[in-house]
Structure 1
Amino acid sequence: MSEPVETVETTPEVVEEKQRNKVLLTEEGELTDKFFAVLRTVFLKYARLTSTTVKVKRKGAAATVQHLRTDEEKARVAALGRKEMNAFTRVTNGEDLPDEQWKEVTEYLDTNDKGELTFKGFIGLYALQTGALRRAITLPAAAASTRVQDTEEAETIKDLKAWGYDPETLDYTGIVVAPTPSAEPAAAEAAEEKDEKKEEEDEVAAKVEQLEVK
Structure 2
Amino acid sequence: MSTSVGAPAVEEHEKEKAALLDEEGDLTPKFEAALIRIFARFSSSYKEAHPDVQASGSGSSASIPRPEATDVLTEADLDAFSTATNGAALPQESKDEIREFLDIDKDGNLTLRGFIEMYHLQSDNDPEETWKDLSKLGFSSSLEYEDERKQATETKAAGDSATDQVADSKN
Identity %: 35
Aligned twin of 1:14: 11
Any residues of structure 2 matched to 1:1-214 within 5 Å, and which?
Answer: 11-20=8-17, 22-49=18-45, 52=49, 71-72=65-66, 74-131=67-124, 151-166=125-140, 168-174=141-147
Q: CA RMSD in A?
A: 2.2
Richer in strand (by share): 1
Q: How far, CA to CA, are the matches of 1:163 and 1:81 in structure 2?
A: 19
Deviations 1:124-161 (A, max 9, x none): 00000001xxxxxxxxxxxxxxxxxxx21111010011
TM value normalised by structure 2: 0.68
**Which structure is richer in relative contact order (CA contacts within 8 A, separation 6 or more)?**
2
CA contact (8 A) 1:47 1:78 kept: yes
3-state SS in 2 of match to 1:49: helix
Unaligned runs of 5+ in 1: 1-9, 53-69, 132-150, 176-214
Query: Comparing both structures, which one devotes a greater share of its residues to helix?
Result: 2
> 1:18 offset after TM fit, Å?
4.1
Unaligned stretches of 5+ residues in structure 2: 1-6, 50-63, 149-171
Q: Distance in 1 between matches of 2:45 and 2:104?
A: 14
Query: What is the identity, as a one-letter code, of the residue corresponding to 1:78?
Result: D
* Cα separation, 1, equivalents of 2:121 and 2:115: 10
1:91-131: CA deviation from partner (whole Å, max 9, x where unpaired): 01110000111101111000000000000000000000001
Q: Is the 8 A contact 1:112 1:118 kept in 2?
A: yes
Structure showing greater radius of gyration is 1
1:197 aligned residue = none
Please give the TM-score of this superposition, normalised by the length of structure 1: 0.55
DSSP 3-state at the match of 1:11 = helix
